[in-house]
Amino acid sequence: MNKELTSLIRKAAELMVEAKYLSAFTGAGISVESGIPPFRGKNGLWTIYDPAHFEIDYFIQHPEESWKLLKKLFFETFEKAVPNEAHIILAELERKKILKALITQNIDNLHYLAGSKNIVEYHGNSRKLVCLSCRRSYPAEAKLLENLPPKCRCSGILKPDFVFFGEGIPIEAALEAERITESSDVMLVVGTTGQVYPAALIPQNAKRNGATIIEVNQEPSEYSYSITDIFIEGKATKMLEMIEMEIESITQN
Protein backbone atom coordinates (compact mmCIF):
# COMPACT_ATOMS: atom_id res chain seq x y z
CA MET A 1 0.00 0.00 0.00
CA ASN A 2 1.39 3.44 -0.85
CA LYS A 3 2.30 5.83 1.96
CA GLU A 4 -0.26 8.48 1.03
CA LEU A 5 -3.15 5.97 1.03
CA THR A 6 -1.98 4.56 4.39
CA SER A 7 -2.08 7.98 5.96
CA LEU A 8 -5.51 8.84 4.46
CA ILE A 9 -6.93 5.57 5.78
CA ARG A 10 -5.43 6.23 9.22
CA LYS A 11 -6.83 9.78 9.31
CA ALA A 12 -10.30 8.58 8.19
CA ALA A 13 -10.35 5.84 10.83
CA GLU A 14 -9.35 8.31 13.58
CA LEU A 15 -12.07 10.76 12.56
CA MET A 16 -14.67 7.99 12.45
CA VAL A 17 -13.74 6.67 15.91
CA GLU A 18 -13.63 10.15 17.46
CA ALA A 19 -16.88 11.36 15.84
CA LYS A 20 -19.82 12.17 18.09
CA TYR A 21 -22.25 11.30 15.31
CA LEU A 22 -20.84 9.42 12.32
CA SER A 23 -23.27 8.85 9.45
CA ALA A 24 -22.83 7.22 6.06
CA PHE A 25 -24.32 8.15 2.70
CA THR A 26 -24.14 5.51 -0.03
CA GLY A 27 -24.88 5.26 -3.73
CA ALA A 28 -24.96 2.70 -6.52
CA GLY A 29 -21.14 2.25 -6.38
CA ILE A 30 -21.28 0.33 -3.09
CA SER A 31 -23.35 -2.39 -4.75
CA VAL A 32 -21.28 -2.71 -7.96
CA GLU A 33 -19.11 -5.44 -6.37
CA SER A 34 -22.32 -7.35 -5.60
CA GLY A 35 -22.96 -7.48 -9.36
CA ILE A 36 -25.45 -4.60 -9.59
CA PRO A 37 -24.60 -2.11 -12.34
CA PRO A 38 -24.62 1.62 -11.50
CA PHE A 39 -26.41 4.22 -13.65
CA ARG A 40 -23.37 6.24 -14.64
CA GLY A 41 -19.74 5.43 -15.42
CA LYS A 42 -18.20 2.17 -16.59
CA ASN A 43 -20.86 -0.47 -17.42
CA GLY A 44 -23.50 2.02 -16.24
CA LEU A 45 -27.10 1.43 -17.31
CA TRP A 46 -27.18 4.82 -19.06
CA THR A 47 -24.60 3.54 -21.56
CA ILE A 48 -27.33 1.16 -22.83
CA TYR A 49 -30.73 2.53 -21.74
CA ASP A 50 -32.45 5.88 -22.04
CA PRO A 51 -32.99 7.49 -18.58
CA ALA A 52 -36.26 8.97 -19.93
CA HIS A 53 -37.68 5.43 -19.73
CA PHE A 54 -37.39 5.63 -15.95
CA GLU A 55 -39.52 8.74 -15.58
CA ILE A 56 -42.82 8.34 -13.73
CA ASP A 57 -44.83 9.74 -16.65
CA TYR A 58 -43.30 7.19 -19.00
CA PHE A 59 -44.18 4.39 -16.56
CA ILE A 60 -47.80 5.56 -16.31
CA GLN A 61 -48.12 5.75 -20.08
CA HIS A 62 -46.29 2.46 -20.86
CA PRO A 63 -46.72 0.20 -17.80
CA GLU A 64 -46.23 -3.11 -19.59
CA GLU A 65 -43.10 -2.08 -21.48
CA SER A 66 -41.68 -0.33 -18.37
CA TRP A 67 -42.32 -3.34 -16.17
CA LYS A 68 -40.45 -5.68 -18.58
CA LEU A 69 -37.39 -3.47 -18.23
CA LEU A 70 -37.77 -2.98 -14.45
CA LYS A 71 -38.13 -6.71 -13.91
CA LYS A 72 -35.02 -7.51 -15.93
CA LEU A 73 -32.77 -4.65 -14.76
CA PHE A 74 -33.77 -4.44 -11.12
CA PHE A 75 -35.86 -7.27 -9.70
CA GLU A 76 -34.01 -10.15 -11.40
CA THR A 77 -30.59 -8.62 -10.68
CA PHE A 78 -31.37 -7.80 -7.06
CA GLU A 79 -32.74 -11.29 -6.44
CA LYS A 80 -29.33 -12.82 -7.26
CA ALA A 81 -27.23 -10.22 -5.40
CA VAL A 82 -25.86 -10.61 -1.89
CA PRO A 83 -24.30 -7.95 0.34
CA ASN A 84 -20.57 -7.48 -0.19
CA GLU A 85 -17.87 -6.70 2.38
CA ALA A 86 -18.59 -2.95 2.19
CA HIS A 87 -22.26 -3.41 3.16
CA ILE A 88 -21.24 -5.85 5.90
CA ILE A 89 -18.59 -3.51 7.36
CA LEU A 90 -21.11 -0.65 7.60
CA ALA A 91 -23.51 -2.95 9.45
CA GLU A 92 -20.68 -4.03 11.80
CA LEU A 93 -19.68 -0.44 12.49
CA GLU A 94 -23.29 0.26 13.46
CA ARG A 95 -23.35 -2.77 15.79
CA LYS A 96 -20.16 -1.45 17.41
CA LYS A 97 -21.94 1.92 17.84
CA ILE A 98 -19.29 3.71 15.77
CA LEU A 99 -21.71 4.39 12.89
CA LYS A 100 -24.96 5.98 14.05
CA ALA A 101 -27.05 6.08 10.87
CA LEU A 102 -26.96 5.27 7.18
CA ILE A 103 -28.70 7.09 4.34
CA THR A 104 -28.73 5.17 1.07
CA GLN A 105 -29.88 6.13 -2.40
CA ASN A 106 -29.95 2.47 -3.31
CA ILE A 107 -33.10 0.48 -3.85
CA ASP A 108 -31.47 -2.97 -3.85
CA ASN A 109 -32.09 -3.88 -0.15
CA LEU A 110 -28.44 -4.90 0.35
CA HIS A 111 -27.77 -2.71 3.41
CA TYR A 112 -30.90 -4.14 4.95
CA LEU A 113 -29.79 -7.72 4.16
CA ALA A 114 -26.30 -7.00 5.56
CA GLY A 115 -27.90 -6.19 8.92
CA SER A 116 -27.86 -2.40 9.04
CA LYS A 117 -30.73 -1.23 11.24
CA ASN A 118 -30.82 2.54 11.28
CA ILE A 119 -31.19 3.00 7.52
CA VAL A 120 -32.99 5.67 5.57
CA GLU A 121 -33.85 4.38 2.10
CA TYR A 122 -34.04 7.81 0.51
CA HIS A 123 -35.32 6.51 -2.82
CA GLY A 124 -37.52 3.76 -1.37
CA ASN A 125 -36.85 0.07 -1.95
CA SER A 126 -37.76 -2.86 -4.13
CA ARG A 127 -39.31 -5.01 -1.37
CA LYS A 128 -42.79 -3.61 -1.96
CA LEU A 129 -45.13 -2.74 -4.81
CA VAL A 130 -47.74 -0.03 -4.39
CA CYS A 131 -51.02 0.54 -6.24
CA LEU A 132 -51.14 3.77 -8.24
CA SER A 133 -54.93 3.94 -7.74
CA CYS A 134 -55.67 2.98 -4.10
CA ARG A 135 -52.11 3.01 -2.57
CA ARG A 136 -52.50 -0.54 -1.18
CA SER A 137 -49.07 -2.19 -0.95
CA TYR A 138 -47.88 -5.77 -1.57
CA PRO A 139 -44.60 -7.61 -0.90
CA ALA A 140 -42.70 -7.79 -4.23
CA GLU A 141 -43.00 -11.56 -4.66
CA ALA A 142 -41.95 -13.27 -7.90
CA LYS A 143 -45.51 -14.60 -8.33
CA LEU A 144 -46.84 -11.06 -8.66
CA LEU A 145 -44.40 -10.40 -11.49
CA GLU A 146 -45.44 -13.37 -13.63
CA ASN A 147 -47.98 -11.31 -15.57
CA LEU A 148 -46.91 -7.79 -16.40
CA PRO A 149 -47.91 -5.21 -15.44
CA PRO A 150 -48.80 -6.52 -11.98
CA LYS A 151 -52.25 -5.38 -10.83
CA CYS A 152 -53.87 -4.56 -7.49
CA ARG A 153 -57.09 -6.27 -6.40
CA CYS A 154 -58.77 -2.93 -7.27
CA SER A 155 -57.30 -3.50 -10.79
CA GLY A 156 -55.00 -0.48 -10.51
CA ILE A 157 -51.43 -0.80 -11.80
CA LEU A 158 -48.76 -1.68 -9.21
CA LYS A 159 -45.55 0.34 -9.19
CA PRO A 160 -42.29 -0.57 -7.41
CA ASP A 161 -42.10 1.33 -4.12
CA PHE A 162 -39.01 3.21 -5.25
CA VAL A 163 -38.71 6.75 -6.47
CA PHE A 164 -38.81 7.27 -10.23
CA PHE A 165 -37.38 10.33 -11.95
CA GLY A 166 -40.04 13.01 -11.66
CA GLU A 167 -41.37 11.76 -8.30
CA GLY A 168 -40.87 13.36 -4.89
CA ILE A 169 -38.88 11.87 -2.01
CA PRO A 170 -41.10 10.07 0.56
CA ILE A 171 -41.67 12.63 3.31
CA GLU A 172 -40.57 10.41 6.23
CA ALA A 173 -37.30 9.55 4.49
CA ALA A 174 -36.68 13.20 3.64
CA LEU A 175 -37.25 14.32 7.25
CA GLU A 176 -35.18 11.55 8.78
CA ALA A 177 -32.32 12.20 6.34
CA GLU A 178 -32.44 15.87 7.30
CA ARG A 179 -32.27 15.00 11.01
CA ILE A 180 -29.28 12.70 10.44
CA THR A 181 -27.55 15.29 8.27
CA GLU A 182 -27.94 17.97 10.93
CA SER A 183 -26.65 15.62 13.65
CA SER A 184 -23.55 14.48 11.74
CA ASP A 185 -20.11 15.77 12.63
CA VAL A 186 -18.51 13.23 10.26
CA MET A 187 -20.13 11.79 7.13
CA LEU A 188 -18.70 8.86 5.16
CA VAL A 189 -19.79 9.07 1.51
CA VAL A 190 -19.39 5.87 -0.52
CA GLY A 191 -19.86 5.19 -4.25
CA THR A 192 -21.96 8.07 -5.49
CA THR A 193 -21.43 10.60 -8.27
CA GLY A 194 -23.37 13.28 -6.36
CA GLN A 195 -25.37 14.07 -9.49
CA VAL A 196 -28.86 12.95 -8.47
CA TYR A 197 -30.88 15.68 -6.74
CA PRO A 198 -32.15 16.27 -4.09
CA ALA A 199 -30.12 13.33 -2.65
CA ALA A 200 -26.88 15.01 -3.72
CA LEU A 201 -27.60 17.86 -1.28
CA ILE A 202 -27.21 15.56 1.75
CA PRO A 203 -23.37 15.64 1.97
CA GLN A 204 -23.41 19.30 0.89
CA ASN A 205 -25.75 20.19 3.76
CA ALA A 206 -23.73 18.10 6.22
CA LYS A 207 -20.61 20.00 5.16
CA ARG A 208 -22.42 23.35 5.55
CA ASN A 209 -23.36 22.28 9.10
CA GLY A 210 -19.69 21.74 9.86
CA ALA A 211 -19.31 17.99 9.21
CA THR A 212 -16.07 16.51 7.95
CA ILE A 213 -16.63 14.58 4.71
CA ILE A 214 -14.73 11.34 4.10
CA GLU A 215 -15.31 9.97 0.63
CA VAL A 216 -14.63 6.52 -0.86
CA ASN A 217 -15.03 6.22 -4.63
CA GLN A 218 -13.11 4.51 -7.39
CA GLU A 219 -13.00 7.82 -9.25
CA PRO A 220 -13.53 11.49 -8.35
CA SER A 221 -17.15 12.61 -7.96
CA GLU A 222 -18.88 16.00 -7.80
CA TYR A 223 -17.82 16.09 -4.14
CA SER A 224 -14.17 15.08 -4.38
CA TYR A 225 -12.69 18.49 -5.22
CA SER A 226 -15.40 20.60 -3.59
CA ILE A 227 -16.65 19.45 -0.18
CA THR A 228 -14.64 16.27 0.48
CA ASP A 229 -12.00 16.57 3.21
CA ILE A 230 -10.48 13.10 2.80
CA PHE A 231 -10.78 11.42 -0.59
CA ILE A 232 -9.94 7.71 -0.58
CA GLU A 233 -9.72 6.55 -4.17
CA GLY A 234 -10.44 2.86 -4.69
CA LYS A 235 -13.07 0.15 -4.64
CA ALA A 236 -15.57 0.27 -1.78
CA THR A 237 -14.84 -3.24 -0.43
CA LYS A 238 -11.05 -2.91 -0.29
CA MET A 239 -11.07 0.65 1.05
CA LEU A 240 -13.65 -0.10 3.76
CA GLU A 241 -11.75 -3.25 4.75
CA MET A 242 -8.63 -1.13 5.25
CA ILE A 243 -10.53 1.52 7.21
CA GLU A 244 -12.11 -1.17 9.40
CA MET A 245 -8.72 -2.75 10.15
CA GLU A 246 -7.38 0.64 11.17
CA ILE A 247 -10.43 1.26 13.39
CA GLU A 248 -9.82 -2.14 15.03
CA SER A 249 -6.23 -1.25 15.79
CA ILE A 250 -7.20 2.19 17.20
CA THR A 251 -10.02 0.84 19.39
CA GLN A 252 -7.95 -2.11 20.73
CA ASN A 253 -5.12 0.15 21.90
Binding residues for ligand NAD, rule: CB under 6 A, are: 27-29, 31-33, 36, 38-41, 44, 105-108, 123, 191-193, 195-196, 199, 217-219, 221, 235-236
Cα–Cα distance, 181 to 205 (Å, whole number): 7
CB count within 10 Å of CB 162 equals 21
Least Å distance, CB 171 to ligand NAD, is 18
Least Å distance, CB 81 to ligand NAD, is 8
Q: Which is nearer to ligand NAD, 6 or 195 (CB)?
A: 195
Q: Which is nearer to ligand NAD, 33 or 241 (CB)?
A: 33
Q: Are 116 and 87 in contact (CB under 8 A)?
A: yes
Residues ≥6 apart with Cβ < 8 Å to 157? 60, 63, 131, 132, 133, 149, 150, 151
Least Å distance, CB 218 to ligand NAD, is 4
- For residue 97, the SS3 value is coil
User: Radius of gyration (Cα) for the chain, nearest Å?
Assistant: 19
Least Å distance, CB 216 to ligand NAD, is 6
Cα–Cα distance, 186 to 210 (Å, whole number): 9
Q: Which is nearer to ligand NAD, 188 or 199 (CB)?
A: 199
Let me know if 249 is exposed, middle or buried by CB neighbors in 10 A (0-12, 13-18, 19+): exposed
Q: Which is nearer to ligand NAD, 108 or 152 (CB)?
A: 108
Residues belonging to the active site:
123
Residues ≥6 apart with Cβ < 8 Å to 137? 128, 129, 130, 131, 161
Single-letter code of the amino acid located at 154: C
Cα–Cα distance, 132 to 53 (Å, whole number): 18
Least Å distance, CB 2 to ligand NAD, is 18
Q: Are 221 and 199 in contact (CB under 8 A)?
A: no
Q: Which is nearer to ligand NAD, 16 or 30 (CB)?
A: 30
